[in-house]
Amino acid sequence: MDGPSHPRTGVFAGIYDPVIAPFERLGLGGLRRETLRGLSGAVLELGVGTGRSLRSYPDSVSSVTGVDPDETMLDRAARRLPEAGMPVRLLRAAGEDLPFPDGSFDAVTAFLTLCTVQSQEAALREAWRVLAPGGELRLLEHVRVERKPLGRLQEALTPAWSRLAGGCHLDRRTLEGVSSVGFEVERIGRYLGGVVLRIHARRA
Ligand SMILES: C[S@@+](CC[C@H](N)C(=O)[O-])C[C@H]1O[C@@H](n2cnc3c(N)ncnc32)[C@H](O)[C@@H]1O
C-alpha cells in the first residue's frame, strides 16, 4: 500500500464489516456484482473501505486502484487482496483530491461512498477528470427521495446519523449531482423504493 501516513479514524472502520455483513447476504453483494458487470480495463474505486467489492470485479477488469482517506479501512481492504482476481493498488486519498493525471482510468466506481465524502460535487468533478473520454462511472448509493414524508425524514435524521455512521448523509441527491457535473446517465436501477440507486453514467 502506498501513500503518506495518516491518523486512523478507527472506530467506524472497526465495526464496519460486522455491521455490513448481513446486508451483503440480503442482496448488497448481488447489487455490487450488477453494478460492476461489463466493466473492463483500469478501474478506480472511490472509498474502497474494507474492500468489500474487490471480489466482485469481472475478469475483464485489468486492474483496480482503491482509494480511501481512512487508513484503518485500507488496512482491512489489504487483507482482502487475495479475493480479487486482478492486481489491486490501495492508496490513501480523498475523492475530492485524487492523485492521478487526467484521463487515467477506464472506469470509476463507488459503493456507499458519495453519501460520505465531504463534497460530493468535488468528488464527482474529480471522477470526471481522471476518467478517459468515454469512460464509465458506476455507482451504488443511497439517496434522498423526493416523496415528502420520507425525504423530509431523511433530512431530519441526517445530523444524528452522520455522527453515528462515519459522516454518512441520508439526504444526498446523487443522481442530480452526477448529471450536473456533465455525466451522461445511461441506466438507473432503483431499489428499496428508490432509496438505493445503481447509476451507470459515462463521460461523453
Ligand atoms: C459506508 S463506507 C463504504 C465502504 C465501501 N465502499 C463499501 O461499499 O463497503 C464509506 C467509505 O467512504 C470513505 N470516505 C470518507 N470520506 C471520503 C472521501 N472524502 N473520499 C473518498 N472516500 C471517503 C470512508 O472512509 C469509508 O471507507
Q: What is the pTM of this model?
A: 0.94
Ligand 1 mean position to 62 CA, how many Å?
23
Write out pLDDT tens, residues 164-201. 998 999 999 999 999 999 999 999 999 999 999 999 99
Q: What confidence category does residue 9 fall into, taking pLDDT thresholds of 50, 70 and 90?
A: low
Does the domain made of 11-142+172-202 have the CATH classification 3.40.50.300?
A: no
> Residues lining ligand 1, judged by CB closer than 6 Å?
20, 46-49, 52-53, 68-70, 73, 94-96, 111-113, 116-118, 168
Ligand 1 mean position to 163 CA, how many Å?
14
Q: What is the DSSP string of the chain?
A: -BS------THHHHHHHHHHHHHIIIIIHHHHHHHHTT--EEEEEET-TT-TTGGGS-TTEEEEEEEES-HHHHHHHHHTGGG-SS-EEEEE--TTS--S-TT-EEEEEEES-TTTSS-HHHHHHHHHHHEEEEEEEEEEEE----SHHHHHHHHHHHHHHHHHTTT--S---HHHHHHHTT-EEEEEEEEGGGTEEEEEEE--
